[in-house]
Structure 1
């Protein structure tokens, strides 16, 4: 069987990485005032942060239209796909998952000739990628669509994301960070920690005064979570990524992959943000 994996650009990997893993990535759109970019296609993550810091206008992101997903699914079927597993960022953060579902359901019945499954990961960025990477390996080994879906759902249930913001400015300007609005009660110099809850919505954790204290607190929270199966960092810049990786060595001895945090979270959390995704071991 030829199962094809589909995701969106909030997985925060390069098109080259996606291609090497056999993953089809559908881009969100990033708007800087009148300028329009396809996320991770004609604007990479490094360029995004350069423009974010220089721009006087907060950028916007928009989910892919159902038509773009339809084009993708049709092409994969024409290329010989025998099944499609489409995995997307939390539906609490974007309408991308719903757009993917609508796209498939809107295809004429005679074009929906193969099995299709869509998953709301309730995650984003590295918290999506660490499982997609495993799914790519399983797919190359011949796993069935049902096996891939079951593995993904189990892993995403055990996947957590903790992020440290450098400033509250972008939360305030964006106004789209859900429960983390509670952080705005204290606009003093803090390094807020946020997470995604079980439904995939952003919620505040704590407001340490310094980045060092925030990283120490994240390490403590991870230690309290029990044995860790895998861990990865999503960083807005190399400096904060290295600092967090060093702090995490006290609670995790395995390899910690690092990738650049992209536009979807970066728009609403700002430069200097860094996040760790981790999968707790099965009990």
Structure 2
């Protein structure tokens, strides 16, 4: 299935590889990807380039971690690569094992190879059990383990739990992550602009630039949501890059663009912001139904528009 014979773009999904990564675990949750060609790539930029060039129908990328927060490389790429839409989200529990070559014991470990994020999430365990260890950064969790066969100076590696299914390594320690509840959120990105039907348990992603750097501009943006009863599950600033003090905001909100309260909020944003990038409305991974006050029901917004239309047309009260 993965990286075998060349396949058509309609049959290809890109993901951050190699096999055994958490990104691959997220892609395994996509029913449409089962039995298709999975293309392993080295970074988010390459994954999105596959989609924009038509090499792949979609790409799975990490966008948020419950410990580290938003993945800045993904957020910046989505803000600058046009024509992309998020069509689904997937949650993967994150924990790690310490692996080494056959014959290595924990007492033999003095240098550890680990991806910087994995290292940060297992640092307390490493400092407690291996207080004198050194750290060599890796480009991915799987690459950290694979490096043990490539002449690396490391004695062990921090890797995903299923790594021994792909590499002939031994596990020196299980569950070394500092937070057993750690979860990474992944999104499936494509060029399709066909909206999914609202489910009542949806999420909408936006990237918003403020009109000016002046007092109250952020508050004005947030009021577009609060006055319509729209809850934000993510609000993170990222530098635009053209000047100091210039930021864009990555926003995830509860609801679907087809919901009247969400649509009305987007209209307000469009009137006040120089750039509102709609990244997509899609079902929540946890399938938790979005709750809100009844005064923000669709019927309330529809009735208000009908009332105004009647006033403008001179209809009797």
Fold similarity call, TM over 0.5: no
Please tell me the TM-score bracket, short chain as reference. Answer: under 0.3
Q: Work out which of the two has the higher radius of gyration on C-alpha atoms and give 1 or 2.
A: 2
Q: TM-score, normalised by structure 1?
A: 0.26
More helix by share: 1
More strand by share: 2
